[in-house]
Amino acid sequence: DPKSNFIGMDIKGARIWSGARYAVANKLDNVAFIRSRIEFINSFFDRDEINEIWITFPDPQLKRRRNKKRLTGSIFLQMYRQLLVDQGTVHLKTDNKEIFEYTRSLIQFNHFNLLQLTTDLYSSDINGPARDIMTYYENQFLQKGMKIFYLAFTLNHEKEINEPTIE
């Protein structure tokens, strides 16, 4: 989409290099990359500067003591909601059922506006970028016969974000 800007962020230099090489080779002048830890995202963007955030195949951080590292956890969602326009969209694509279910429970607990949800993206009727843009890892998972989970939801500027209590 030449009318939009795309910014990839990752701590891994090799991923940034691959993306930058692709962008240059394909003359994509609306693409940029930031090599940084996601915890510093507020250093790069102002409030209301981003329309959408795509989280594609994150490390699920499944151990309970690592839940503060989950990119769809309440700590990161608090950061994202400051940078997103009000009612901005967060997308999650993953092969991991646990991170998908965790994120779905967070959406339900906080009463976020759920836009789309599927446990099998390529057997669903969802169209558009979620389906049209396939990551390297996604292609690998599909070749192994794995299903791709996808969901999209909006964040409200005013609503506090909380973790569900686990008993």
One-letter-per-residue 3-state SS of the chain: CCCCCEEEEECCHHHHHHHHHHHHHCCCCCEEEEECCHHHHHHCCCCCCEEEEEEECCCCCCCHHHHHHCCCCHHHHHHHHHHEEEEEEEEEEECCHHHHHHHHHHHHHHCCEEEEEECCHHHCCCCCHHHHCCCHHHHHHHHCCCCCEEEEEEECCCCCCCCCCCC
Whose CA is closest to 54, among 81, 101, 87, 89? Answer: 89
Q: What is the pLDDT of residue 160?
A: 86
Q: Cα separations (Å) of 138 from 17, 67, 121?
A: 19, 23, 11
Q: Check 59, 86, 125, 132 and give the catalytic one.
A: 59
Average pLDDT taken over every residue of the chain: 91
- Residue identified by tokens 């970028």 is 129
Q: What is the pLDDT of residue 66?
A: 63
Residues 97-132 pLDDT 10s: 999 999 999 999 999 999 999 999 999 999 999 999
Largest CA distance in the chain: 52
Residue 65 pLDDT grade (very low, low, confident, very high; cuts 50, 70, 90): low
Catalytic-residue membership of 1: no
